[in-house]
Chain A
């Protein structure tokens, strides 16, 4: 008699059960199921779930791009004053903290 604490395999019973339940050749069954696979359509919700991640990222990028285009269109083309202001700001980059050496500034080419 098997102990309740014995949980090893029982090869004799296993083999007898396998023979009893053996359904025969799998080839016909496999062919039947393979044929039916083409009729299966994924559920809408599963498809949406699979695409949700990529879809959200794409939608966010599209919204951002559309927002930028809309803002630029609302502002219109840059005016002359705005362009000069931008140029004036850019000169800051050329201003040195210390004055230049006059001998260098007023020197003539060739040392004359």
Chain B
């Protein structure tokens, strides 16, 4: 049994420490996935936590023959979507003006901050599924088939979503580079 399989088996048997190790392992990915859905970082962390706790409750339903990561991220993505719906956050909600404003000077941190704000604003304009698809593909490195299982859509739909999301984000990046 793999290391992760062993952790999942122990967690299923009620070992909370084993589940804690899984939390540690997937914290970064889960938080980024939640952040792709929710603009507010605190909201995103709350959603990621909801996802982990929900996964713990549902652990008995997990098929141990399948990889744990995609199963967990599906729950996290659903938790983020639910939270977003509950809060009635608009998809094209304007970004915090402070975050959108250019940095104090032409240093690298300010440029990174500005670029980050631009990309988050661009992501917020994308339909939620495309957002998740491009983040899972280009940031987290999942394959199309796995993303399809996470999002509950066919692999071809994921390919299309990633393509359209990339095209949109690149156009925004190109515009930003021209302005500078």
Interface of A toward B, CB cutoff 8 Å: 1-2, 4, 7, 9-10, 13-14, 16-24, 26, 29-30, 32-34, 36-38, 40, 42-43, 46-47, 49-50
Contacts and interface: CB of A to CB of B under 8 A. Distances in A.
A33 B52 contact: yes
A2 B166 contact: yes
Nearest to B52: A33
Contact of B36 (A21, A24, A42): A21
- Contact count band on B: 35 or more
Contact of A7 (B28, B144, B169): B144
7 contacts: A7-B144, A13-B170, A18-B139, A20-B120, A21-B35, A33-B20, A37-B19
Nearest to A37: B16
B138 A29 contact: no
A49 B60 contact: yes
Main secondary structure of the interface of B (DSSP, over half): helix
Interface of B: 16, 19-20, 23-24, 27-28, 31-32, 35-36, 41, 44-45, 48-49, 52-53, 56-61, 112, 115-117, 119-120, 123, 134-135, 137-139, 141, 144, 159-160, 162-163, 166-167, 169-170, 173
Contacts of A10: 138, 166
A46 B41 CA distance: 32
Main secondary structure of the interface of A (DSSP, over half): helix
Given A2-B163, A46-B58, A33 B49 contact: yes
A38 B159 CA distance: 40
What are the nearest 4 A-B pairs in CB distance?
Answer: A14-B138, A20-B119, A20-B116, A46-B60
B135 A2 contact: no
A96 B106 CA distance: 112
B179 to A, nearest CB: 16
